[in-house]
Amino acid sequence: MNQNTRRIAVIGLGAMGGAMAAALHKAGWDVTGFDPSDTARSAAEAAGITTTATLGDVAGTPYAVLSLPAASIVETTVPQLLAAPGTVAIIDTTTSEPATSKKMAELAEAQGAAFVDAPVSGGRDGAATGSLSAFVGATEAALKAAEPVLLALTGGKYSHIGGPGSGNVVKLLNNVLAAANLASVGEALGVAKAYGIDPAKAAASISEASGGSKVSANMYPNWVLSGTHDSGFSLGLMARDAALAVDVATQIGETPSLLAAVANQWQDALAVLGPRADFTEIARVVAPAVTPAGAPGAATPAGTTPTA
């Protein structure tokens, strides 16, 4: 790949987009970042990244990575990126909707470009180190066009799920399963605490057995039991993803009752904690006794600091 084709635009410089832009910059890509937020652009510039406040400035850039808050914004962004010739591939890491990705893939293909839905998992740390995992929906031709960027973001740790939109479906299912596990592990540790068992010891023991998961092994010890709640992923986004997963199922006639109950539980937590709370703060609703901050609205225990 010559230097000209190593030009890449990163659209959306929030926690994930900013970290991906920095990782690409460190890997030798010529990165230009776009975000309407002055704060987000300033943070990217501090990492050595050129930025612009005008999306049209990056139209026709050979590669583009999208990290956006909603499918509706993807739909308005992609046509602007394709407004000038030169686009090779657009890699959409947004947790988006399959219908949107199918439409954008058709639009890009009609203009001789590729569009792949590649929602990612791995958080800020994975984004910053180029070690994310990605769920990819794309045609074979689009996948080949996007591969240099996918390799840079994931180190090869991506799964080609199927055609356009399929990456979105599996990512939403992944997130609703994580949402279910966050609630169920919290409830289980709440029971352990009620029996006088140290929740940290219970989580460690369960994590070595058949009930274990990344939630019990990492998320609860690192972010919940510690009281830090600083994963970098918001409760509002997780509540949205859980609801979207159920909507996607409903659209094809499926009725996942347990997942629907989980989605409702997250909506209830959203109403109490607000969208900006860390998603690990769900524990404060389902198992407040295991969290240093306790239940929302409760008096803060001595020696602790409220997290919401």
108 HSE (CA, 13 A, CB side): 36
Q: 48: phi > 0 → left, psi -120 to 50 → alpha, else beta; which?
A: left
Q: What angle do CA 234, 238, 242 make, to 5 degrees?
A: 170
> In sequence order, what are the beta bridge partners of 149?
none
> Catalytic amino acids?
171
Q: What angle do CA 263, 265, 266 make, to 5 degrees?
A: 65
Distances from the Cα of 61 to the Cαs of 64, 137, 168, 222, in angstroms?
Answer: 7, 22, 24, 39
Tokens for 54, please give them. Answer: 């005008």
Q: Are 235 and 241 a contacting pair, CB within 8 Å?
A: no
Distances from the Cα of 180 to the Cαs of 69, 141, 177, 262, in angstroms?
Answer: 22, 36, 5, 6
